[in-house]
């Protein structure tokens, strides 16, 4: 077999910064997936660029909604979000205010259902039947099936116009490696959007990442930036004493 061998390293996925990486992708009313669990593994630099772009009426699919002034909390404060699809939003006062005043819509999904809906969306699967949420308000209005004495409800796949994700290391092919629990929702979101923009702490030359250890293959990632700055906020700094 005569497989093609690239004669040079292709740099077309590499963008100079977060602002440039989002150029041409944003419009009011669009749907954006944003990776992270709490503030762990969130695309800090792309979220700042999104805030500064002033794009509005967004539907944001993200497990959480940041905290006041950090992560998606910045976009909430700026009134850029119309609807959140999340599993838990307990850490955000401004969220609560906008929700109670009717400015903000929320669709709660069980966390595993949210993760699987995004995975399904990226994998070309229309929907799946799950026991999660059967017999609860989550099941209302959804098709259900009885199988072997258990009730399963139909949940549908989720996709987005743009996904913004954060990885530890990445290369110009768009291959990504995440670190520890900062992986969370990032790999599925990378697969489920028309355009995925990834920011990485370390942009490394092609050939650096072990092909056996790549978490997100480059096919899912269209644009990559080296993040300019990482605060890596810790929500609860729990420690133990040395004896």
Partner 1 sequence: MWSREQMATRAAQELQDGFYVNLGIGIPTLVANFIQPEHHIVLQSENGMLGMGPFPYEGEEDADLINAGKQCISQLPYSSFFSSADSFAMIRGGHIDLSVLGAMEVAENGDLANWMVPGKMIKGMGGAMDLVAGVKRVVVVMEHVAKDGSAKFKPQCSLPLTGANVVDMLITDLAVFSRPNRQSGFELTQLAPAVTIDDVIANTTAAFTIKI
Please give the residue ranges that form the binding site for partner 1 (CB under 8 A). 37-41, 63, 86-91, 96, 99-100, 106, 108, 110-116, 118-119, 130-138, 168, 178-188, 215, 232-242
Q: Judged by CB, which is closer to partner 1: 136, or 156?
A: 136
Contact yes or no for 48/83 (Cβ under 8 A): no
What is the distance between the alpha carbons of residues 195 and 193, in angstroms, rounded to a whole number? Answer: 5
> What does DSSP say about strands 160-170 and 105-108: parallel, antiparallel, or unpaired?
unpaired
Hey, which residues does 107 pair with through a beta bridge? 85
Q: What's the gap between Cα 58 and its chain centre? A: 14
Q: Judged by CB, which is closer to partner 1: 7, or 137?
A: 137
Question: How many other CB atoms are there within 10 angstroms of residue 139's CB atom?
Answer: 17
Q: Judged by CB, which is closer to partner 1: 44, or 173?
A: 44
Contact yes or no for 84/58 (Cβ under 8 A): no
Look at residue 96 and give its three-state secondary structure. Answer: helix
Q: Judged by CB, which is closer to partner 1: 8, or 238?
A: 238
Q: How far is the CB of 38 from partner 1 (least distance, A)?
A: 4
Both ends of the chain: CA-CA distance in Å?
A: 62
Q: How far is the CB of 2 from partner 1 (least distance, A)?
A: 36
Q: How far is the CB of 102 from partner 1 (least distance, A)?
A: 13
DSSP state of 209: S
Q: Judged by CB, which is closer to partner 1: 43, or 187?
A: 187
Q: How far is the CB of 60 from partner 1 (least distance, A)?
A: 14
Spatial strand order of the sheet with 144-147 comes to 127-130, 150-156, 144-147
Where are the strands (E) in 171-221, listed by range? Answer: 176-177, 193-203
Q: Judged by CB, which is closer to partner 1: 87, or 226?
A: 87
Q: How far is the CB of 4 from partner 1 (least distance, A)?
A: 31
Q: How far is the CB of 171 from partner 1 (least distance, A)?
A: 20
């Amino acid at each position: 077999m005569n497989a093609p061998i690239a004669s040079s390293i292709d740099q077309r996925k590499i963008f100079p910064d977060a602002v440039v990486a989002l150029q041409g992708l944003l419009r009011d009313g669009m749907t954006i997936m944003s990776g992270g669990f709490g503030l762990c593994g969130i695309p800090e630099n792309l979220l700042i660029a999104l805030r500064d772009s002033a794009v509005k009426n967004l539907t944001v699919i993200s497990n959480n909604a940041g905290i006041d002034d950090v992560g998606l909390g910045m976009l909430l404060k700026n009134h850029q979000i119309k609807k959140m699809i999340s599993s838990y939003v307990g850490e955000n006062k401004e969220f609560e205010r906008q929700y109670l005043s009717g400015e903000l819509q929320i669709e709660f999904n069980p966390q595993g259902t949210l993760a699987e809906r995004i995975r399904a969306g990226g994998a070309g699967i229309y929907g799946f039947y799950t026991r999660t949420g059967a017999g609860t308000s989550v099941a209302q209005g959804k098709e259900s099936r009885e199988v072997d004495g258990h009730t399963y409800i139909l949940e549908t796949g989720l996709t987005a116009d743009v996904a913004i994700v954060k990885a530890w290391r990445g290369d110009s092919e768009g291959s990504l490696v995440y670190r520890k629990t900062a992986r969370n929702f990032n790999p599925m979101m990378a697969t489920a959007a028309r355009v995925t923009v990834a920011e990485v702490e370390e942009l490394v030359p092609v050939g650096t990442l072990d092909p056996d250890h790549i978490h997100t293959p480059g096919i899912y990632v269209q644009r990559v930036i080296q993040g300019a700055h990482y605060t890596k906020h810790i929500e609860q700094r729990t420690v133990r004493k040395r004896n």
